Amino acid sequence: MFGGQDQKAENGASALQAGGNITVSQTNNYGLSVADVRELVTTFVRDHLPMVRQVAQAEAQANAREFVEHLFAELAAQNKADLLRELERPAAQAVFTEATIGAAKRGAEMDLSLLAKIVVNRLEAPKESVLRFVSEEAAALLPKLNGDHIAFLGFTLLLANLQFTAATDMTRLEALCAHTLPHIRGGMNMAFGHREYLSGLGLISINMMATGDAFNAFMVQKYPFFNMQEVQNGQFPVLAELYTSYKSTLLPAIALTAPGKFIACLLLQRCVPCDPAVFIPDR
């Protein structure tokens, strides 16, 4: 994987190596190579952004290449170089193309690493699985989001859907929630207009009839030991911060859709175990 370690593959599979520049070694004569994919990026930007000026096109090319390097790094980290073969399929290549164009347009303004993770999830999703369809939608939507939008999705999943099975008391729950804060804090006080924007994209639904304060009941349902009085007394500042944002963002009125849950899961995977299949089951 990283640090110059070799990835060996058997049965004719490809292997990625991450240690400085990322390379692919192939032991067969079929499938896309890294060079092939890099060439695809150049072609995509040239064909799909012909109207931009030369300087802007150069920036778009650089953005697209950076996204592809994130994609190769994600494949290397998961030892899944053989997924490059999926890009020979029209549906998978369409997803890759759309993601690449979105990355070319937005560049550093968006989370290229998260976009790469979404594409890898799409490449490995079983045929006709709900996660395949959801990941395709997520890949199309992510370039339309900024960091705070993504953080809000993670914040919503944390409070509305995720349960820490390792939390056995208030101190442990406080510590686990604190671990997520760097990834979700940017969205914890999101203005209503941005929430409406997310709703328009189909990432959340808003029901203004459900705006009551049910934080205590909701937390007790997940964590029977939860003590709201201790939170309000300031004994657990992280939980108190979450509660304040819960009220200010009218979180009871928010429900994540499947693409919203998917993006939020991949974000929270950076700090806690979070399997999209748990929240978006096929059955």
Per-residue pLDDT tens digits for 267-279: 999 999 999 999 9
The answer to whether residue 76 sits within a structural domain is: yes
Alpha-carbon distance of 168 to 223, in angstroms, equals 8
- How many residues are recorded in the chain? 283
pLDDT score, position 61: 86
What is the CA angle 83-84-87, rounded to 5?
110
Residue 193: strand, helix, or coil? helix
In this structure, are 172 and 264 located in the same domain? Answer: yes
Q: Please tell me whether residues 39 and 122 are part of one structural domain.
A: yes
Work out the pLDDT band at 265, boundaries 50, 70, 90. very high
Do 74 and 85 belong to one domain?
A: yes
pLDDT in tens, 48-90: 665 556 667 788 889 999 999 999 999 888 888 788 888 888 9
Q: How far is residue 89's CA from residue 228's CA, in Å, rounded to a whole number?
A: 53
**Number of domains present in the structure of the chain:** 2
Are 160 and 268 within one domain? yes
Average pLDDT over residues 145-156: 97
At 20-49, the pLDDT tens digits run 443 434 444 445 666 777 776 666 666 666
Of the residues 109, 129, 144, which one is the last residue of a structural domain?
144
Q: Among 75, 77, 108, 78, which residue's Cα sits nearest to residue 96?
A: 75
Domain that holds residue 201: 147-279
Q: Are residues 87 and 155 in the same domain?
A: no
